[in-house]
Structure 1
Amino acid sequence: MKTEFSDPVTAGLTRLQKGSLKLYITGAGGIGKTTLSNSLSDRWALHVINEQFDANIDRGNKKKTAGECRDEILGIYRTKLAEEEQNTRFITDRGPLDLLHLWLHLQLHNYLSKKETTDFLSLAVKQLRSYDFVVILPWNSFPLEQVDQDRAKLVKRNMNPFSQMKHHVSLMGLVHMFCNKHKIIEVPRKIVALEDRIIYLERVVNKRLELMKSDS
């Protein structure tokens, strides 16, 4: 039986460079999301929507109220949504479920009204369903590295791999709970090199697009 990875690609790259294509990439910190997003942007002619967490979340303020945390999350959600609505071809680095995970991680559901959490959950799931594919990169497939000097001015990465694993498991759970299974693409842990990840995604996305076309 052929797998998605072993299927040959014919005119796949041309297909990936034309028409509407909306990708969402998620997972823990330090697994290569931004690097892959930028490379796919160049290869597939996609607009990159940056994660925007570092610039918009004041991690240095340990006395923020739940309302202030909520406003930061909603601000990122609205900014990214507006940019997505202006583009038909993009890859978004982190997205609605990452924001939902942060909402839950900060336990805002314990401090804000049930309606506020329910409303944000609805917003996140609605936006999730607008993407063609959700890409999950594997946790711990290569050593965790600290962010570069420019990013370090805003935030330092948690270098405990098991803390990152906790976040990754939560994100995977949210994706599988709320996303159509045919839209989920999990990159295998054994595929580490950037070029190999791109080739894998080209083959899988092309195969899925072919199946979607034949079913329509």
Structure 2
Amino acid sequence: MGERIDENHDGAFGDECREEVRVTLGLEDDQVFAAFWGKLRDECLRVRRGIEASPNGFCLAPFDKSLTQRKTWLQRQVVNPIETLQAALSDENAPHFAHWERFGDDDPHANAALHDALADLKNKVTLLQREFEDEITGETAGKITHTHEIRHYVVFVCLSELREHYPNLKLSRGNWDKDLGQSIGHVPDFVRRVFFETTGNYEQLDGPIQANI
């Protein structure tokens, strides 16, 4: 896991970050760079919002839980209680909600809107659990954590946008610095800067960078 940085993350991908990226890559501040930065910024901000909204291992996340833990939590805390409540709200249990002093004029203990809402929530959670199970068992995306998936995706976005807008720019993995214990160069420095802005974590990223170059 990368080093966690405690700081105010408001104003991500602002002018300071933009200029650092441009200087790091040695690019002119022209229309091409503006287009490149716009697409990179928009996509990374989308990823950042996803990180902030969901459990993962980055410091911007609300908390971190594995897919198995989340699947179990949803079952215990949402699906099981819904099924219990659905059973309790069946017509045969209507007498539990009646009082004799109303002389049989009790309001309905549940209406169609409530039943539909419970069914919709259960269906939504069940579909999400199936997505988790596909990832847990490797049936679709393989056994990979969301944190690792996000990590590789951010690196992929950085390098794919760079290729698209600067097809003649040589993408180098950089040179290994034994003192720092990581590769250094304009491409890895650029990727790490954008990655930090997106996730709030500083990481070496040598593996994901090498996999995409």
In terms of fraction of residues, the more helix-rich structure is: 2
TM-score (norm 1): 0.23
In terms of fraction of residues, the more strand-rich structure is: 1
| Bigger Rg over Cα | 2
TM-score (norm 2): 0.24
